[in-house]
């Protein structure tokens, strides 16, 4: 029995090798690879936000408490685009509710590669909201995350995964 235990311990230690330790303590003489060489994307500046809503109270528990946008901000987000002819449909996306503690009107989506202004339409209600389009990694067919304020404005059920039409420009 002791022999089996000893072999198990030896094999377990041998299987560890040096790989895990290299990630923790890389070679001191090695230089970090630049972001472009590692395939990582660099942070991009976001466009000026459509909302100046404050962050919700940490004790917030309801949708009303988390949605800190003002009536004026909601009216501006619900307004028709200034240049409807200048809009371009990016496609459709299935959206889930994003971080409810992050205020404003936004959509994190793989349909854009750079931050932009845009609009989402929820066909089930016909309502739309002007949003900040924020790029996320993934194929264009991947899902998106939408802000609580925008989801409430287009009257999409908060617990559903609505299919939204996404536009840019206008």
The domain spanning residue 116 has which CATH number?
2.40.40.10
Query: For the segment 30-56, what is each residue's pLDDT rounded down to a tens digit?
Result: 444 444 445 555 444 444 555 678 888
Cβ–Cβ < 8 Å for 68, 13: no
- Residue-level pLDDT at 2: 56
The torsion defined by the Cα of 89, 93, 97 and 98, in degrees rounded to 10, comes to -70
Same domain, 17 and 86: no
Q: Residue 11 pLDDT > 80, yes or no?
A: no
Collapsing DSSP to helix, strand or coil, 84 comes out as helix
| Residue-number span of the structural domain to which 20 is assigned | 2-38
Look at strands 127-135 and 144-146 and give their pairing. unpaired
Mark whether 95 and 134 lie in a shared domain. yes
CB of 68 closer than 8 Å to CB of 104: no
Tell me: do 149 and 101 sit in the same domain. Answer: yes
| Bridge partners of residue 163, in order along the sequence | 94
Question: Is 11 within the bounds of a domain?
Answer: yes
Three-point CA angle 131, 142, 89, nearest 5°: 45
Same domain, 96 and 22: no
% of the chain surpassing 70 pLDDT: 69
Confidence of residue 84 (pLDDT cuts 50, 70, 90): confident
Are residues 82 and 123 located together in one domain of the fold?
yes
The predicted structure's pLDDT at residue 30: 41
- Cβ neighbors of 40 (< 8 A, separation 6 or more) are none
- The per-residue pLDDT for 1 is 53
Q: In this predicted structure, what is the pLDDT of residue 35?
A: 46
**Confidence label for 7 from pLDDT (cuts 50, 70 and 90):** low
Residue 84 belongs to a domain: yes
The answer to whether residues 149 and 73 belong to one domain is yes
Q: What pLDDT does residue 81 have?
A: 83
User: What total of structural domains would you count in the chain?
Assistant: 2
51 assigned to some structural domain? no
* β-pair type (144-146, 88-97): parallel
Within this chain, do residues 69 and 34 fall inside the same structural domain, yes or no? no
94 shares a domain with 163:
yes
Q: Please indicate, yes or no, if residue 145 is contained in any of the structural domains.
A: yes
Indicate whether 121 belongs to any domain.
yes
């Amino acid at each position: 029995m002791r022999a089996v235990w000893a072999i198990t311990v030896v094999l377990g230690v041998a299987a560890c090798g040096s790989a895990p330790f290299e990630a923790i303590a890389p070679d001191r003489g090695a230089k970090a690879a630049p972001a472009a060489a590692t395939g990582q994307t660099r942070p991009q500046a976001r466009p000026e936000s459509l909302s100046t809503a404050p962050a919700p109270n940490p004790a917030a528990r309801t949708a009303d408490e988390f949605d800190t946008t003002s009536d004026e901000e909601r009216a501006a987000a619900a307004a028709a685009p200034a240049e409807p002819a200048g809009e371009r449909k990016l496609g459709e996306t299935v959206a889930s509710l994003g971080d409810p503690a992050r205020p404003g009107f936004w959509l994190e989506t793989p349909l854009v590669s750079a931050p932009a202004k845009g609009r989402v339409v929820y066909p089930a209600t016909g309502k739309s909201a002007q949003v900040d389009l924020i790029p996320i990694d993934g194929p264009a067919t991947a899902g998106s995350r939408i802000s609580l304020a925008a989801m409430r404005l287009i009257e999409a059920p908060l617990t559903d995964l609505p299919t939204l039409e996404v536009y840019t420009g206008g």
